[in-house]
Structure 1
Amino acid sequence: MDEQALLPLLTALVAALAIAAAAYAIMYPYISADRMKDKRVASVSESRAKKIATQSAAELAANRRKQVTDSLKDMENRQKARERPSLRLKLERAGLDVEPRIYWIASALSAVICAVAVQIFLPASVAAYRPMIMATALFVGGLGLPRLVLAKITARRQKKFLRELANSIDIIVRGVKSGLPLNECLAVIAKESPEPVASEFREVVEQQRVGVSIAEALDRMTRRMPLSEVKFLAIVIAIQQQSGGNLAEALSNLSGVLRDRFKMTAKVKALAAEAKAGAMILASLPPGVMFMVQSASPEYIAPLFTTKTGHLFVVGGLVWMSIGVLVMRKMINFKF
């Protein structure tokens, strides 16, 4: 009788244990530490995969930047290895189709004109220093003034080139997108662009016709037009030819950068105009005052030119004036 009474209890106990075991087997993966471990491993693996993908993109961009940097360094090293620019190259940079001997003849004429002008307008009070002043006039007129004029012409030509370079790059971008080869796009620029862009790219096209590669022709153009923007163009095209890539997109980005640089240049010049005007007024004030005093009362200012003490003051004033002008020029001459 007791066994018959215990049998239902044992059956219920076994059934409860079986249900509990089944429930534990089902819920074990969700409540065990292995499940938490698997979740952590999965999250770590996913984050690692994302990190590897991010690193691969970053490494690709870093390799691209390194390639551009190496190309820049290679170009700079090649330029440093070359000799100083010859007079013929300087004349080419200025856009002057003349021989170096013409430049030296013009320099000699400039020296003679400066010496004659000093001889005519030199006051008698400084006649004792006439030989030194004449030598200075010959030196300035023969070497200083022609080089200054040549540098001004070169700078003005480079500004015109930069003003039209972005438009020329846009011509290349549109031509490449429409299916034209790069050399045909350069030929279009050589025909339709204004000077001096047309003449520079015409030289590139002519060099291609005699067997020079585009990269080498653009490298030679950087010698005639030593601007960072032209170097960027040459590097972009050289890298595209070596490693491939979307040339239209790269040149489009370069065109946008050049336009932004040009806008920033115009903004900086506008902001610096007031400082430049102030510097010009301060620099012209001492000689202006001296000229007015000389015109109103010559005997009052005569000791400056007739006595040794006056000569010392004049030299000291010129030195300090030159230092002040150079300092003001350094303050308003922004590099960008």
Structure 2
Amino acid sequence: MIEFLQANSLFVILGAGVAILVTLLLMAIGSADERRLQKRLSQVAATGGLPVTGSGKKTDPSLPTLKAAANQRRASKAAQGGGIGSILPNIDLLTLRLERAGLNISVSTMLIIAACLSLFALLLFAVMLKIPLVLALLAAIAIGIALPSYFVSSAGKKRAKRFLKDLPDAIDLIVRSVKSGLPVSEAIFAISRDLKGPAAVEFTKISDQMRIGIPLDEAFARSVKRIGISDFAFLAISLSITQETGGNLGETLTNLSRLLRLRQQMHLKIHALTSEARASAMIVGSLPFLVVGALTVLNPDYINVLFTDPTGHKVLYFAGGSLGIGFFVMSKIVKFDF
């Protein structure tokens, strides 16, 4: 059996890659009952929030809504735990991360990209680099998961920074609109019209939700969940409390805007103070690759031992692991959350 696998390693690799692709596709597509549930939820939304029968007629509003039934179903599945559902990816969480990153792609597209990356890495490691099949398969799966996750996370952080940069200006625009006598809804619409970038997109969604009858606090609560930024949650809480209890909204939002600007100034100071450590990390981290590149050009026979000899492979594995640990530690040293 072992000899057969060694003689047909390419077929084994392709089979493993196809298995990864099919598994991820099945995760993305979902079950038939979930698709029926989404269709029924769309029908409820189209009829004003009332359950509908098979003929399309509205039923008694005293009956439990389909959305509540869906929430109860998800809660029961979570309470059961275990099974295959515990190892499948959380589709809702993946959708939320893609939305926070501002990427207009579906979860199924992301999973297909991850499967293609895994297959390419598997072919590279097992066929070209002659790494053992089990290690190549594990490394390929890790790359297929890590690279898309890193890209989505990086895009989400960049979008959050742009949003935070424009948030004080958006709050100041609300303050000026409120002081001039305009309602908060018109101020939010002015933000979506006058500003650019992620802040304008998010306030446009809030404005659209308010225009179809969703209350202001609920629209902001949905937006806070989408964005996931505590500074924006401060704005939502301030508007909600002022709407319920009254008070000077202009003064409250002015203080909030000043606080957010001070937080941004503190972040810039920390970024400047840690610039030396970050530059040192980049220089030290790039030296091994520069040295290997220089030796490859100047003395290829000397450096090829690392790639052809089994002991050289062990040295490469150890060096790669050490570099990874070093990058992780230094990134934690220069990163401050406040």
Taking structure 2 as the reference length, the TM-score comes to: 0.67
1:290–1:97: structure 2 CA closer, same or farther, 3 Å change rule? closer
Match for 2:155 among 153, 166, 169?
A: 153
- Deviations along 1:188-216, whole A, 9 cap, x unmatched? 11222112111211111222223322111
Pick one of 180, 193, 203 that aligns with 1:178: 180
Matched letter for residue 196 of structure 1: P
1:326 to 1:274, Cα distance in 2 relative to 1, 3 A: same
Instruction: Tell me what 1:282 maps to.
Output: 284
Question: In structure 1, which of residues 262, 266, 270 is the aligned counterpart of residue 268 of structure 2?
Answer: 266
Q: What does residue 212 of structure 2 align with?
A: 210
**CA-to-aligned-CA distance 1:51-71 (integer Å, 9 cap, x gap):** xxxxxxxxxxxxxxxxxxxxx
Matched, 1:224 2:231: no
Residue in 2 that maps onto 1:12: none
3-state DSSP of counterpart to 2:186: helix
2:325 partner letter: I
SS at match of 1:86: helix
- Tell me the C-alpha RMSD between the 2 structures: 2.5
Which residue, out of 314, 317, 322, partners 2:324? 322
The Cα shift of 1:250 comes to 0.7
1:113: Cα distance to partner? 4.3
Match status 1:239 vs 2:246: no
* Whole-Å separation in 2 of the counterparts to 1:135 and 1:172: 54
Residues 301 and 98 of structure 1: CA distance in aligned 2, closer, same or farther (over 3 Å): closer
Aligned pair partner of 2:100 in 82, 90, 93 = 93
| Residues paired across the two proteins, number | 250
Identify, as 1 or 2, the structure richer in helix.
Answer: 1
Residue of structure 1 in register with 2:113 after alignment: 106
Structure 1 291/271 Cα, relative in aligned 2: closer, same or farther at 3 Å?
Answer: same
| Cα drift, residue 119 of structure 1 | 7.0
Residue pair 1:222, 1:230 contacting (<8 A) in 2 also: yes
Query: Please, which runs of 5 or more residues in structure 1 have no aligned partner?
Result: 1-80
In 2: Cα distance, 1:306 partner to 1:141 partner = 23
**Considering only CA atoms, is the larger Rg found in Structure 1 or Structure 2?**
1
Q: Deviations over 1:37-96 (max 9, x none)?
A: xxxxxxxxxxxxxxxxxxxxxxxxxxxxxxxxxxxxxxxxxxxx9x97522222211222
The aligned counterpart of 1:37 is none
Q: Provide Cα deviations, 1:269-308, integer angstroms capped at 9, x if missing partner.
A: 2222222111011111123223323333333344434444
- Equivalent pair of 1:113/1:141 in contact (CA under 8 Å): no
> Are the equivalent residues in 1 in contact too, given 2:114–2:148 (CA < 8 A)?
yes
Query: What's the TM-score once normalised by structure 1's chain length?
Result: 0.67
Query: Which letter maps to 1:109?
Result: C
Identity of aligned residues (%): 37
**Which amino acid in structure 1 is aligned with residue 316 of structure 2?**
V
Q: Per-residue CA shift, 1:127-174, capped at 9, x if unaligned?
A: 2x1535642553245322112111122111111111111111001101
> Which residue identity lines up with residue 248 of structure 1 in the other structure?
G
- For 2:96 and 2:298, the matched residues in 1 are separated by 50
| Aligned: 1:292 with 2:294 | yes
